[in-house]
């Protein structure tokens, strides 16, 4: 199974980092008036609002027949609820008031209740049958489904090494329960059923659209400890398949798939571009207000005289080539001009206009036409160290060498004020305003920030100053709805090297600590990001933090989302960055020695809480090592180890070891094996496990 080779681990890790994505579809089922206990025994996700409809998007002949849909959350011991009479946000509000969760998806292998006012059905997805393994169950009550079309006794046997205390199914026609328990023989069972007036399963088949209850006995310690080694091996394969596929898989039915896609779309499509917009505008404000100070103190170095103005150009990452029209990839520049002549009195400077150019090359539309977007910020001093500003998006289109500039979007405005000490240095900054955004989907970036500056460590000529920060940044769409937001809480700061005139040292950032909440439309990050040990490489380029960590939670906050998914500490470190030469080829003596570790818990819908540790380390210019462990269900332990060589497929190996000492090895090239204590129990080839007893199965 290719996905359980080293690539599976990468997919699993990427799922943890929100990258592996796909989507499922719906399943057929018949519902009678009243209550029907249905099931999803197909390998497709049932999107509940889509399949059953909602108030604003009803499904013909379904929404008007179905009153409510319910699913049991066996992990959190609560009901998930949905009704087509409401929209998803209304369901979320109602469910919260009742202590329910919101039923958005029914995964393969799950059962669900439908209360209908008349007979109806949902369409068939034509997906293949889904046969859940025993590892999908948790101790206690589980509402499940299976595409195996087994009887209750057959199902009870199939979940070994676990034990079913009881099995129940609902007969919607007779309004009665079918009952089965493996603890009774047929005579005892018949007598008990008659006594309680239940229905006897007999030979009744649990079809793929039938839901049923299973009460699974709890376990402590290894659930497979008492099995023979070969059976332990088979159960380990079943567990790996269940666990990894429950999170992410190629059919898109894993519980992380939808969340990962939304997270990736928000972060890459909205948050990163929107954050870039904030940086571009704050650069303009920083340079513009700094020009007021420089000119009024008589500092004109760095300015050029241009007819009736003083002009000042700053490169955002300090790369400037001899050709002033050439921009370094990833760089941008700020060009500011005042309203005063070089010979004018400094008091004549009342306004500054700054143009902030995009840190990218112009976009080539076709062979003779280019387009470049930038921001123009005009800053006016309204009182001493008090400023008002307006901001306008601009775009210059050049056709056959002739440029035409036009405004983009609305004109926005704001204010900035500084508290200045006796030496003229700012001690506090308050910034509030709305900025136009050029990013797709983001119409406005709303900023409200408070910065306080204090001396941390004195030095010559540069001292370390700390800027504590509180406030918020939000990206809004055209209707004013929030697309992303940052909320900075007490404890947030960055440390910077500056001289006595607040001129920052090149590559002067020393530390960054952000405490608070960052959220997108569907995901919330709540915790602390800390970055320190900033340094440039040996060539003096790419000044970065070499020690970064995030401690906190990552949650699904979409309408009726599942809540906290990860509670983790994620740490990244580079140990040799100051010795790494980016201008030279990567080699055995010249590569970045990096390490990424994750330690925490993972909680997904209908899955036990998993304790997870992972560590990835660069061991060479093309090689990596991975190690880790996950545990759940009071006794299951899977240890992970692997290597990867991007230049040599034969150098890629991966292994899982469970609590019983079963080892499954999956090299990237050639065949794998499953063994215990050096004894081979099966061979793995082309995604198939061939056991020594002649049986075989797919890893998929």
| pLDDT tens-digit readout, 275-326 | 766 766 676 787 778 777 777 777 666 666 655 666 767 654 433 333 344 4
> Residue 401 class from Cβ within 10 Å (0-12 exposed, 13-18 middle, 19+ buried)?
exposed
Identify whether residues 225 and 272 lie together within a single domain. no
**End position of a domain, from candidates 449, 481, 500:** 500
Q: Which candidate, 437, 79, 75, 508, places its Cα nearest to that of 280?
A: 437
Look at the chain and report how many structural domains it folds into.
Answer: 2
Q: Are residues 261 and 206 in the same domain?
A: no
Domain contains 640: no
Query: Can you give the pLDDT at residue 8?
Result: 31
User: Rounded distance, CA 239 to CA 632, Å?
Assistant: 11
Counts of helices then strands in the chain (DSSP H, E): 8, 43
Of all helices (H) and strands (E), which one includes residue 698? strand 696-698
CB 127 within 8 A of CB 28: no
Residue 700 falls inside a structural domain: no
**Going by C-beta distance under 8 Å and a sequence separation of 6 or more, which residues neighbour residue 382?**
388
pLDDT in tens, 379-423: 898 888 899 999 888 888 888 889 899 998 888 899 999 888 877
User: Of the candidates 500, 530, 563, which is a domain's last residue?
Assistant: 500
- Band of residue 364 on the pLDDT scale cut at 50, 70, 90: low
Statement: residue 604 has pLDDT above 90 = no
pLDDT of residue 23: 31
Q: How many residues does the chain have?
A: 700
Q: Which residue has the higher pLDDT, 98 or 420?
A: 98
Residue 291 to residue 76: CA distance in whole angstroms: 59
Q: With contact defined as beta carbons under 8 Å apart, do 280 and 375 qualify?
A: yes
Helix axes 6-16 and 229-247, enclosed angle (nearest 10): 40
pLDDT class of 75 with cuts at 50, 70, 90: confident
pLDDT for the residue numbered 347: 61
Is the same domain home to 185 and 268? no
Residue 348 shares a structural domain with residue 212: no
43 and 177 in a single domain? The answer is: yes
Q: Which residue has the tokens 């050096």?
A: 678
Q: What value does the mean pLDDT take over residues 516-523?
A: 89
Rounded to an integer, the average pLDDT of 144-148 is 94
Q: What's the pLDDT tens digit per position in 19-45?
A: 222 233 345 689 999 999 999 999 888
Q: Does residue 161 lie within any of the structural domains?
A: yes
Confidence of residue 356 (pLDDT cuts 50, 70, 90): confident
Residue of 277 and 568 predicted with greater confidence: 568
Residues 349-369, mean pLDDT to the nearest whole number: 69
Which carries the bigger pLDDT value, residue 100 or residue 2?
100
| Across 185-209, average pLDDT | 95
In a domain, 507, yes or no: no
Say whether 78 sits in a helix, a strand or coil. Answer: strand
Phi, psi of 282 (to 5 degrees): -70, -30
**Residue 175, token pair as written in the block:** 């309004």
Asked whether residue 269 carries a pLDDT value surpassing 60, the answer given is: yes
**Single pTM value for the model:** 0.77
- Higher-pLDDT residue of 481 and 213 is 213
Dump pLDDT digits (tens) for 472-518. 999 888 888 888 898 999 999 999 998 877 777 878 899 999 999 99
d(Cα 189, Cα 194) in Å, to the nearest integer? 9
Say whether both 407 and 363 belong to one domain.
yes
Q: How far apart are CA 71 and CA 111, in angstroms?
A: 7
Name the residue with tokens 């240890």: 639
Average pLDDT, the chain: 84
CA–CA gap between residue 342 and residue 625 (Å, rounded): 61
Pairing between β-strand 101-102 and β-strand 78-82 as defined by DSSP bridges: parallel
Are residues 350 and 445 both part of a single domain?
yes
Instruction: Give the CA diameter of the chain.
Output: 109
Mean pLDDT of the region 351-375: 70
Does 20 reside within a domain? Answer: no
Domain shared by 186 and 306, yes or no: no
In a shared domain, residues 167 and 302: no
pLDDT greater than 70 at residue 440: no
| 212 and 273 housed in the same domain | no
Structural domain contains residue 145: yes
Residue 700: the pLDDT is 76
97-122 average pLDDT score: 94
The SS3 of residue 15 is: helix
pLDDT higher than 90, residue 531: yes
Q: What is the pLDDT of residue 237?
A: 94
Cα angle 493, 497, 500; round to 5: 115
State the residue range of the domain holding 161: 25-229
pLDDT band (50, 70, 90) for residue 596: very high
Q: Which residues pair with 534 in a beta bridge?
A: 545
Percent of residues, the chain, with pLDDT higher than 70? 85
| pLDDT exceeds 70 at position 625 | yes
Whether residue 269 sits in one domain with residue 216: no
Task: Give the integer Cα–Cα distance in Å for 168 and 111.
Answer: 12
Residues 302 and 220 in one domain: no
Token pair, residue 470, equals: 């509180």
**Contact present, 215 and 141 (Cβ < 8 Å):** yes
Overall average pLDDT of the 47-62 stretch: 95
Asked whether the CA dihedral 261, 262, 264, 270 is positive or negative, the reply is positive
Residue at which a domain ends, from 212, 229, 246: 229
Selection from 550, 686, 640, 676 nearest residue 244 by Cα: 640
Q: What is the DSSP code string of 563-632?
A: EEEEEEEEEEEESSGGG--TTS--BTTBS--EEEEEEEEE--TTS--EEEEEEEEE-SSSEEEEEEEEEE
pLDDT for the residue numbered 7: 32
Among the ranges given (254-258, 486-490, 679-683), the one the predictor scored with the smallest mean pLDDT: 254-258
Contact 466, 442 (CB under 8 A): no
pLDDT bracket for residue 361 (50, 70, 90): very low
Any domain includes 182 = yes
Q: Contact 637/629 with Cβ under 8 angstroms?
A: yes
Task: List the structure tokens of 396.
Answer: 């210059």
- Residue 450, domain member (yes or no): yes
Q: Kindly state the tokens that stand for 325.
A: 């029209």
């Amino acid at each position: 199974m290719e996905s359980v080779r080293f690539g599976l681990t990468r997919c699993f890790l990427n799922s943890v980092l929100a990258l592996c994505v796909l989507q499922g579809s719906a399943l057929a089922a018949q519902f009678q008036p009243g209550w029907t206990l249905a099931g999803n025994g197909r390998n497709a996700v049932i999107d509940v609002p889509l399949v059953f409809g909602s108030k604003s998007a009803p499904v013909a002949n379904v929404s008007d027949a179905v009153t409510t849909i319910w699913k049991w959350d066996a992990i959190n011991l609560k009901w998930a609820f949905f009704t087509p009479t409401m929209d998803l946000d209304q369901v979320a509000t109602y469910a919260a008031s009742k202590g329910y969760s919101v039923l958005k998806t029914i995964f393969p292998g799950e059962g669900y209740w439908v209360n209908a006012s008349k007979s109806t059905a949902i369409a068939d997805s034509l997906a293949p049958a889904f046969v859940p393994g025993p590892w999908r169950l948790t101790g206690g009550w589980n509402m499940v489904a299976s595409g195996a079309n087994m009887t209750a006794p057959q199902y009870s046997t199939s979940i070994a090494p676990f034990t079913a205390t009881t099995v129940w199914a609902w007969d919607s026609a007779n309004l009665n329960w079918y009952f089965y328990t493996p603890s009774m023989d047929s005579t005892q069972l018949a007598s008990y059923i008659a006594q309680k007036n239940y229905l006897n399963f007999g030979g009744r088949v649990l079809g793929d659209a039938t839901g049923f209850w299973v009460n699974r006995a709890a376990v402590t310690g290894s659930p497979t400890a008492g099995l023979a080694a070969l059976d332990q091996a088979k159960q380990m394969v079943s567990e790996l398949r269940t666990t990894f596929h429950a999170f992410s898989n190629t059919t898109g039915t894993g519980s992380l798939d939808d969340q990962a896609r939304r997270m990736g779309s928000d972060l890459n499509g909205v948050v990163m571009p929107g954050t870039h917009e904030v940086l571009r505008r704050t650069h303009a404000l920083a340079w513009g207000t700094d020009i007021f100070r420089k000119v009024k103190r008589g500092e004109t170095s760095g300015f050029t005289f241009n007819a009736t103005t003083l002009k000042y150009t700053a490169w955002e990452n300090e790369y400037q080539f001899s050709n002033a029209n050439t921009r370094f990839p990833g760089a941008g520049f700020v060009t500011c001009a005042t309203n005063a002549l070089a010979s004018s009195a400094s008091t004549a400077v009342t306004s500054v206009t700054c143009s902030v150019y995009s840190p990218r090359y112009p976009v080539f539309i076709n062979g003779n036409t280019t387009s470049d977007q930038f921001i123009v910020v005009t800053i006016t001093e309204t009182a001493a160290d008090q400023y008002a500003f307006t901001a306008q998006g601009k775009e210059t289109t050049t056709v056959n060498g002739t440029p035409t500039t036009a405004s983009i979007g609305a004109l926005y405005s704001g204010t900035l004020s500084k508290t200045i000490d006796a030496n003229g240095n700012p001690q506090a900054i308050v910034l509030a305003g709305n900025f136009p955004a050029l990013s797709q989907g983001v119409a406005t970036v709303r900023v409200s920030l408070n910065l306080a500056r204090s001396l941390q460590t004195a030095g010559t000529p540069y001292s370390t100053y700390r800027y504590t920060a509180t406030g918020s940044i939000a990206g809004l769409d055209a209707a004013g709805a929030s697309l992303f937001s940052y909320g900075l809480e007490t404890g947030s700061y960055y440390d910077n090297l500056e001289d006595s005139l607040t001129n920052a040292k090149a590559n002067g950032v020393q530390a960054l600590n952000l405490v608070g909440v960052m959220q997108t439309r569907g995901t919330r990050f709540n915790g602390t990001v800390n970055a320190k040990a900033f340094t440039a490489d040996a060539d003096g380029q790419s000044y970065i933090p070499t020690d970064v960590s995030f401690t906190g939670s990552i949650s699904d906050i979409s309408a009726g989302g599942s809540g906290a998914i990860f509670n983790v500490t994620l740490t990244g470190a580079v140990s040799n960055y100051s010795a790494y030469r980016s201008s030279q080829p990567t080699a055995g003596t010249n590569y970045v020695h990096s390490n990424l570790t994750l330690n925490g818990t993972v909680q997904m819908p209908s899955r036990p809480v998993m304790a997870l540790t992972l560590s990835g380390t660069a061991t060479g210019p093309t090689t990596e090592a991975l190690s880790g462990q996950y545990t759940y269900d009071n006794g299951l332990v899977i240890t992970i180890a692997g290597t990867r060589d991007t230049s040599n497929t034969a150098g890629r190996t991966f292994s899982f070891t469970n609590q019983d000492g079963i080892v499954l090895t999956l090299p990237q090239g050639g065949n794998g094996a499953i063994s215990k204590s050096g004894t081979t129990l099966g061979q793995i080839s082309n995604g198939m496990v061939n056991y020594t007893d002649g049986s075989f199965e797919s890893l998929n």
